[in-house]
Amino acid sequence: MQRLLILTGPGVSAESGLETFRDEFGLWTRYDLAEGAPQRFATSAKVLEFYNEGRSNRRSSVPDSAHFALRRWDGNGRATC
């Protein structure tokens, strides 16, 4: 059986209400890119703030039609996640 490789962009998540990183109002407009580096946890409270903001946004998001299509393909054995 042939497998299917699926590449998506930030639009899939944006349609579900998640912020993207690089658009006009994305996370990187409010944080320095270096502040998002996991290696900075020990030295910067901004890193924890950055990751907490991302987690908070995910709690209010809902899957959209693209997510359901990906799940159907995965359930049929045509794609693996």
What does each of the 81 residues of the chain score in pLDDT, given as a tens digit? 677 778 888 788 888 888 887 888 887 788 777 766 777 877 888 888 877 887 877 788 888 898 888 888 877 766 665
Please list, in sequence order, all residues whose beta carbon lies within 8 angstroms of the beta carbon of residue 50, skipping any fewer than 6 positions away: 27, 31, 35, 36
User: What single letter denotes the amino acid at residue 77?
Assistant: G
- 40: DSSP letter: G
Q: Among 44, 41, 46, which residue's Cα sits nearest to residue 27?
A: 46
The model scores a pTM over 0.85? no
